[in-house]
Structure 1
Amino acid sequence: MKYKKSTSALRLGVLQASVLLALSPAAFAQSSDQVSTLDKVEVTGSRIKRADIEGAAPVTVIDRATIDASGHVSVADLMRDSTFGSFGNFRPRSGSSAQAVSTIDLRGLGSDRTLVLIDGRRAPAAPSTGVSADLNTIPLAAVERIEVLSDGASALYGSDAIGGVVNVILRKDYEGVEVRYGKGLTKVKGGDTEEASVLFGVNSDRGNLLLGASYNERGMVYTRDQIGASVKGASIYGNNFFYENGSLGGALPGYNCDDPGFYTLGKNCVYNHKETAANEASVKNKSLFARGQWQIDENWSIYANASYSNSDSFGRYAPTPGAVYVTEGSANDPVPGDGQGAYVYHRYAGAGNRDTTVDNSVTDLTLGMQWQVSERLAIDFGLRRSNAKFKETGRGYIVTPLAELAIANGQYDLRNPYANPDVVKGFTATIGRDGKYEIEQLFADATLDLFDMSGGRSVLAFGLEHRKESYADLYDSLSEAGVIAGSAGNSAAGDRNVSSAYAEWLFPITGSFDITAAARYDRYNDYGNDVSPKLSLRWQPLDRLTFRASAGEGFRAPPLNNLYAARAFSAEAVKDYRTCLGIGFTSAQCGGDANGDNLADGAEDKAVGSYQVDSYSSGNTNLKSEKSKQYSVGMAWDATDWLNLTVDFYRIKIDDRIRLISYQELVDFNNRGIALPAGTSVTRRPNGAVSQINTAYANEGDLDTRGVDISLRTRFGLGNAGQLSNWLQVSRVIDYTVTDGLVKKDRLGWVGQPDTRASLRNTWTNGDFSVNWNINYIGDQQNPAVRPSFGFIGGDPSTRVGGYATNDLSFSVNVPWNGSATLGVNNIGNRYPELISVDGRPWNFDLYDAYGRTVYFRYSQKF
């Protein structure tokens, strides 16, 4: 079901563009008398170099000028403004297993279905995720431009290129020295940014060399300083008890509830976790990079790229909460003599906050040679090694069995969490994770001019690749054993070899119509092989009008962490009619439903009850690859010298999705006689009750999405008043349907899944002065009503998130001594997201930030 969207901000952007279009082209059009020869370039989405004209693939280029005008200090912050990131991008946050990581997610398909390239080569996955590249490890100072291919591209690049490709092109032809420093001050305390970089480049007739270093930082924002902090946190995990029969007893007798963070709320002693915790995590990025190329002779050249990036992060959560059972008559019994034990919901405040530090690093080295064999044949071959590492350390965590022992024997007094520091130290632990993701790659690419056709020369690009991937994510023994309160994790490690061959063939049928066919074969030594074909058409009936279309297939290989994760135990609660009967309840008491599941047949409304069972999760070596089909059709129209319009429709269908199957889903499948996904199982006792559930990542479900991207560019010469350029981008998702198990849902418009994102970039330049005004818009969202009986019409009003628009403004000037200065304000209206909780956070962290108005200054000096 769709819900009405707020479009006021979007209409504003369209209105502004319409006003510009209404201006007389005779007064503002640039001269078209100049004729230039177009150089051949390689653009993301094709291995064939061709004239720099609109191609068959929809590619958006974010150039260096756009990067500087954004006011952002990192690649991650820059890409969060992209309209192709339909549902937002993951960013650093405390308490997450990927605390320091920032990713890019095109089309809302997941960051693991977006391929990130660096100079056309696959970036390594962050070891803490095992599936997605970390944008924080790419230095923004080293970036020349970013090319976003908003179409599937497995036929050229292999696995993961389902939602699209983000190709980060690094600087190379740079001459001179540039030093840059910038500082940003946020309205919210703690989120300030700082950046610094230095570049050195030399060029000659035979080669070039670039050296650089960069640093950027964003500070931590504590929850007490963010929006919503005026309402105290009120965690029941303060010092309260429940009777053994489940009724609430209230504050623990004998405790005054006046220690830091604790306060009385009604009959309870609650804890204000907002005082000490931080949802945001701090991030510091440091990088060194170098690249060079040397022309040995007219046919041979050699090149090398090397970089080292380090990303440090700090996150903080409140002291560990825990629920502990105390026996009748023990030292910590809340009500001695009442004939029953009790459950105490306690905060281990004496152990201090849970602090997590993360150290990520990536070392990357590429060595290659280019050989112009003949006028028709060119070869590029080389080797590459990329090594991503991370180390995570967590302090202030509680070893549950040791804490329970100290409580049981009275050494630890629940009524005084600060009383005995030595006892607290005895059950407090420092936990850790160590990980790596290494890629060793050999590659050879060639382009061959074959024969002339009516529309030009037919060109074949082909190549071979072989790479070895090694992955490890290793938890400390206590975390892996599941004895750390408030933390869990199971290790994973594995490696694989991948051999690939691809070909792309251009057929210029006529001067206005060409066909490009591409295919790639990938062989994985762990699960099998995949073939990915693609056919692209380009028709240019007029000099200024181009139509394009493509159809292709893609895949996503099973990630190493999904294949090889170690087995981990938990005691999960599931609803199950047969288990209810098996432990002695009647059919009426169990809901009277033979399905006894949580499906949309009304069973979830019945009193089946939940029962804890032995549950295990692990890797699944039975996984196969996801399969996708992509279709796109579009047009590019250069209506005048000052107006360009592109419109592209897309559809992506994914089958055999790799996802973690929930324990409840497995029980539901079992009750309905549906075959369980390979690598999972449900075991029952003779009385029908569930005795054990084994889950894993499995191939189950599908996803179908379609939408449209619109780009409108204008460029006006204003005579002595300078030049004005505008760029409106709108991405609208038309359908987003996900099938998980037995449930099929159109999730478009739900919270976190807006149907519209838009941006309007306006730049005015006049000599040494320039002004940039950027508008970013995110559509509104609302969840459907959970049950019709609630009386909601159309949607749940408590989840409505309105349309969200921010305005960024900056002023730049070139100073006489070859320097430039910029003063800017991002989010000039000081907008904040609405406090609609998503994934346990007070707002949607993927779509919004809550830094408020940010004033920044940047100065660059060239020598």
Structure 2
Amino acid sequence: MHQRKQIAVAVAVAISSMSAYAQTADTTTVQSVEVTGSRIKRAAAEGALPVTVVTRAQLEDSGAVTIAEFIRNSTFSSAGQPRPQSGSSAQSFAGANLRGLGSERTLVLVDGRRVAKAPNRGDAADMNSIPMAAVERIEILTDGASAVYGSEAIGGVINIILRKDFDGVYYSVGRTKTNIDGGDREEASAMIGMTGEKGRIIAGMSKTKRDIIFVRDYPWGAAQGASVFANTWYAATSDGEGGFLPVATQGGFRGNAGACNDPGRGFYIPAGQTRCRYDFNLVAADEAATGATSIYARGEYKIGADFNAYVTMSNTNNTSFGRYAPVPDYIEVQANAPGNTSTTPGQRVFLAHRFAAAGNRDTSTDGNLLDMSLGVQGTAGGFDIDAGVRKTKSHLVETGRGFVVKGLATTAINNGVYRTDDPFLNSDTVLKSITTTTGRDSLFQSTEFYASATHDVFSMAGGMSRIYASLEHRKEVYSDLYDSLSEAGEVLGSSGSSAGGSRKVDAASVEWLFPITKTLEANLAARFEKYSDYGNDFSPKASLRWAPTRALTLRASVGRGFRAPTLPDITAKPAFSADDIVDLRHCLADGGFTAAQCASQAFQIQALRISNPNLGSEKSKQFSFGGAFDVNQSFTVKADYWNTEITDVISFVSAQEIVDRDNGDVANPIPNGLSITRDPATGAILKIVAGSTNEGLLKYSGVDVGATFTHKYANAGKFKHDLTWSHAFKSEVNGTENNGTFGSPKNRVSLNNSWGLGMVDVAWNVNAIGKNGDKEDLYVSTYTTHDLQATVSPGFIKGMKLSVGLVNAFNKQPQLVSNTSKPFNYDLYDAYGRQAYFRLEQKF
């Protein structure tokens, strides 16, 4: 709240400094602008790099309420992108993922400056932290750009340009109703802008909210979940390593009937069976409830004949709530313990138990992103100068309730204090004695100083050669702290390894524009970055633009990029884990199994997962070529081929992979810092140290095709059609081709149609996600949805606009095909069904 008061005071001061308000826009000159991918300003036109510009009108026609929703539905999100989901370790996170290269390889900017990383991820920006109401346009660069922006810009760049030129007062309200129960959404925003002789200011606020969706409310949610973690006794195998057998196979079976005859609470015995089951679909949620409240302001003030000062401030509060089914686990009960009520007295047993009486696992997050910058822009001595300081602070607190401490629960069950015959008869005191409230406190903070200058160097046949140079200094501070019980692995259904550290980054970049002729233009760029914790990186790039005619523009680029190891990669604390492995030597040392049986016998071993302070950066090489052709004044086509190769990929090497490398089943050696320790006499595994290293090779390539056709008629209005098609040629990971496999469709297509006549505008958008998967295994056919919107701007109320629409008008549902606990591919599809919405906007 204090941060918001600071912003409000600053807005009031800026407003009071302006004594006259009059629009001074000059519409007769061509404005030079900075286009994503280059720091040198020029007249807006087709450039040497493939940049897609999404206008404010296109954002509004899409029916999306958040930037994350819009980007997720673009053809460039070939593999979808992460979105808020109940119960995940990053429940509130919504990331961008261009080309399927990962959120950690997609750079997100606001007005050309990088957005702070989400502290519960530490490697990517949360798209939900940027209010869509404040956005003027979005520029999507589908080419590597480390030479201009530095780390992470391997898959591409999403540059979100905020509103700056606005005069008047504006507000909007809207609501969306989904076809299923849950997922409904609300939105509201307001903005004020003023322009005067000495400067201008814009300020606003926005609020969005989306409801939780429970599995039981999906069309398929009525089917009972059938978890064996209910209330069933199992006998331990002789080796004690796991693989528990039902007591029924040993002469008699008894589920705890009192707890298994309560379907209203999720416990039941399926027809024709005797084993207890739990219906997790009854209480679990798939999509988390989310909410965001933002305030933002930008002011500019003339401080001299050639200089302006500017200040920008925004504060976004993001919240989420998710619900997971109650905690399940195997609890070991000793042979003669009072709590051993199985039908095999005197035998050590295990109870596959669901702690439903202790409540559901509910997780809430409360995050806050504060972003402030202060700078000056102007001209001095022939140099265009921009210098300033920027501070971002992203802080998130996560709270979990209904979690069970395994040690306390095991003791309570063994000594008979916790009743297993009907757990709902346990007193509140007993239940509280085995549960805990979990906590996580995460922070990502950045302080940045920057200065740049652009200068005309010499005249060439095509115009003036210009050079841009900049210096930047950035300090990042990161911490991710879990409660001590979760970090120690004592909490069922909750775990995490705390991490924290800081780094300094110094960068120098240069860009040089060469207008060789009136039709041929070359651009050279390079950036050097020095990191205080791991080393240096240098990224060069060259691009070429040739326009042999007014109608045709050809372009090409080649360059190198990098992704620095993240602070979580190199600072996470060691964490113990119990990993399952298959290993012949360990199996034979254990005894009781033949060599043939050992080929598939899994053992649980002690592993230590560590961060790697010796990690280096990932390296990339990319090139692209393509162009744009104006067939006539009404019809334009574009096509761009892209190719990206990434080496030294930061990859996690698991315990099983270390075993396989130790046995020679995999040719790669065990990386430095990781290890396996065996008993020298028997070969039994004593300990494995697993973690990340730099190895692996990614190869991706594809083509983006676009076409725009406009036509108008005196009595029939104006029509516009925009077609975009993204096709992947290659998605290769370490020699394995994933293109077209489940979750990696080869094609995404979008066709946006609009028609306007008088005060009425209509939009019809068609979105298609190509088939993906193997028909013999996981397979999803082509998925097509239609969005409709009608907008009326009644002349009798000046400045009013009313929009009504249907997202997914024909109620298309995703195919229930998945390789995770979710019933469908959560990154690519949603299950909202038809979404009817309205939006009322008013400008004064």
Q: TM-score, normalised to structure 2's length?
A: 0.93
**How far off its partner does 1:255 sit?**
3.0
Please tell me the residue identity of whatever aligns with 2:770: G
* Corresponding residue number in structure 2 for 1:644: 636
Contact 2:256 2:422 in 1 (8 A): no
Q: Which runs of 5+ in 1 are unaligned?
A: 1-34, 592-606, 784-794
Quickly say closer, same or farther: Cα 1:311–1:452, change in 2 above 3 A: same
**How far off its partner does 1:858 sit?**
0.4
C-alpha distance in structure 1 between counterparts of 2:161 and 2:45, whole Å:
19
Q: Which runs of 5+ in 2 are unaligned?
A: 1-26, 238-243
Please tell me the residue identity of whatever aligns with 2:406: T
**How far off its partner does 1:702 sit?**
1.1
**How far off its partner does 1:244 sit?**
2.1
Measured against aligned partners, the alpha-carbon deviations of 1:807-842 in whole angstroms (never above 9, x if no partner) come to 000000112212000010110010010111232211
The answer as to 2:95 corresponding to 1:88 is: no
Contact 2:700 2:730 in 1 (8 A): yes
Q: Which segment drifts farther, 580-589 or 177-186?
A: 580-589
Quickly say closer, same or farther: Cα 1:50–1:254, change in 2 above 3 A: closer
Contact 1:240 1:252 in 2 (8 A): yes
* Corresponding residue number in structure 1 for 2:697: 702
**How far off its partner does 1:251 sit?**
4.9
* Corresponding residue number in structure 1 for 2:578: 571
Alignment of 1:686-725 (within 5 A): 686=680, 687-725=682-720
Alignment of 1:306-705 (within 5 A): 306-374=313-381, 376-420=382-426, 421-584=428-591, 588-589=595-596, 607-672=599-664, 674-686=668-680, 687-705=682-700
Please tell me the residue identity of whatever aligns with 2:748: R
**How far off its partner does 1:350 sit?**
1.1
What SS does the corresponding residue of 1:678 show, helix, strand or coil? coil
The answer as to 2:265 corresponding to 1:264 is: no
What SS does the corresponding residue of 1:542 show, helix, strand or coil? coil
**How far off its partner does 1:230 sit?**
2.5
Alignment of 1:826-845 (within 5 A): 826-845=807-826
Please point out which of 782, 804, 817 is paired with 1:803.
782
Please tell me the residue identity of whatever aligns with 2:787: D
Q: Which segment drifts farther, 66-75 or 526-535?
A: 66-75
* Corresponding residue number in structure 2 for 1:789: none
Measured against aligned partners, the alpha-carbon deviations of 1:607-658 in whole angstroms (never above 9, x if no partner) come to 2422221101121101000000011010111111111111000000000111
Contact 1:407 1:414 in 2 (8 A): yes
**How far off its partner does 1:205 sit?**
3.6
* Corresponding residue number in structure 2 for 1:598: none
Measured against aligned partners, the alpha-carbon deviations of 1:240-277 in whole angstroms (never above 9, x if no partner) come to 12222332235524535123111111111111111111
**How far off its partner does 1:660 sit?**
1.6
Contact 1:545 1:635 in 2 (8 A): yes
Contact 1:329 1:337 in 2 (8 A): no
**How far off its partner does 1:689 sit?**
2.0
What SS does the corresponding residue of 1:345 show, helix, strand or coil? strand
**How far off its partner does 1:849 sit?**
0.6
C-alpha distance in structure 2 between counterparts of 1:256 and 1:195, whole Å:
44
Q: Which runs of 4+ in 1 moved over 4 A?
A: 336-339
Contact 1:712 1:727 in 2 (8 A): yes
**How far off its partner does 1:184 sit?**
0.4
Contact 1:188 1:225 in 2 (8 A): yes
* Corresponding residue number in structure 2 for 1:761: 752
**How far off its partner does 1:329 sit?**
3.3
Please tell me the residue identity of whatever aligns with 1:407: I
Quickly say closer, same or farther: Cα 1:173–1:665, change in 2 above 3 A: same
C-alpha distance in structure 1 between counterparts of 2:657 and 2:511, whole Å:
43
* Corresponding residue number in structure 1 for 2:241: none
Contact 1:253 1:334 in 2 (8 A): no
What SS does the corresponding residue of 2:99 show, helix, strand or coil? coil
Measured against aligned partners, the alpha-carbon deviations of 1:85-117 in whole angstroms (never above 9, x if no partner) come to 110010000110100111100000000000000
* Corresponding residue number in structure 2 for 1:29: none
What SS does the corresponding residue of 1:541 show, helix, strand or coil? coil
C-alpha distance in structure 1 between counterparts of 2:199 and 2:792, whole Å:
32
* Corresponding residue number in structure 1 for 2:14: none
**What is the number of residues matched between the two proteins?**
797
C-alpha distance in structure 2 between counterparts of 1:642 and 1:461, whole Å:
36
Q: Which segment drifts farther, 331-340 or 147-156?
A: 331-340
* Corresponding residue number in structure 1 for 2:737: 746
* Corresponding residue number in structure 1 for 2:185: 193
C-alpha distance in structure 2 between counterparts of 1:614 and 1:230, whole Å:
40
Contact 2:231 2:259 in 1 (8 A): no
* Corresponding residue number in structure 2 for 1:247: 245
C-alpha distance in structure 2 between counterparts of 1:474 and 1:335, whole Å:
41
Measured against aligned partners, the alpha-carbon deviations of 1:299-330 in whole angstroms (never above 9, x if no partner) come to 11100000000011000011111111212233
Measured against aligned partners, the alpha-carbon deviations of 1:121-159 in whole angstroms (never above 9, x if no partner) come to 010000000011011110010000010000000000000
The answer as to 2:292 corresponding to 1:285 is: yes
Measured against aligned partners, the alpha-carbon deviations of 1:456-508 in whole angstroms (never above 9, x if no partner) come to 11010110000000001100000001000011111010100000000010111
Please point out which of 141, 154, 162 is paired with 1:170.
162
C-alpha distance in structure 2 between counterparts of 1:823 and 1:400, whole Å:
52
* Corresponding residue number in structure 1 for 2:61: 69
Contact 1:498 1:525 in 2 (8 A): yes
Q: Which segment drifts farther, 47-56 or 525-534?
A: 47-56
What SS does the corresponding residue of 2:715 show, helix, strand or coil? helix
Quickly say closer, same or farther: Cα 1:500–1:549, change in 2 above 3 A: same
Q: Which segment drifts farther, 249-258 or 497-506?
A: 249-258
What SS does the corresponding residue of 2:287 show, helix, strand or coil? coil
Contact 2:254 2:342 in 1 (8 A): no
* Corresponding residue number in structure 2 for 1:848: 829
Measured against aligned partners, the alpha-carbon deviations of 1:171-203 in whole angstroms (never above 9, x if no partner) come to 011010001000000001011010000000001
C-alpha distance in structure 2 between counterparts of 1:144 and 1:370, whole Å:
20
Q: Percent identity over the alignment?
A: 44
Contact 2:259 2:267 in 1 (8 A): no
Q: Which segment drifts farther, 293-302 or 118-127?
A: 293-302
The answer as to 2:781 corresponding to 1:775 is: no
Contact 1:252 1:334 in 2 (8 A): no
* Corresponding residue number in structure 1 for 2:100: 108
Contact 2:340 2:414 in 1 (8 A): no
Contact 1:622 1:678 in 2 (8 A): no
Measured against aligned partners, the alpha-carbon deviations of 1:385-418 in whole angstroms (never above 9, x if no partner) come to 0000000000000000000000111101111111
Q: For the aligned residues, what is the CA RMSD?
A: 1.4
Q: TM-score, normalised to structure 1's length?
A: 0.91
Contact 1:330 1:408 in 2 (8 A): yes
What SS does the corresponding residue of 1:335 show, helix, strand or coil? coil
**How far off its partner does 1:715 sit?**
1.0
**How far off its partner does 1:339 sit?**
4.3
What SS does the corresponding residue of 1:107 show, helix, strand or coil? helix
Measured against aligned partners, the alpha-carbon deviations of 1:549-602 in whole angstroms (never above 9, x if no partner) come to 0000000000000100011111211111222233346773366xxxxxxxxxxx
* Corresponding residue number in structure 2 for 1:4: none
The answer as to 2:155 corresponding to 1:149 is: no
**How far off its partner does 1:695 sit?**
1.1
What SS does the corresponding residue of 2:596 show, helix, strand or coil? coil
Measured against aligned partners, the alpha-carbon deviations of 1:409-453 in whole angstroms (never above 9, x if no partner) come to 110111111122211110100001001100100000111111001
**How far off its partner does 1:297 sit?**
2.4
Please tell me the residue identity of whatever aligns with 2:836: V
Contact 1:360 1:389 in 2 (8 A): yes
Please tell me the residue identity of whatever aligns with 1:398: V
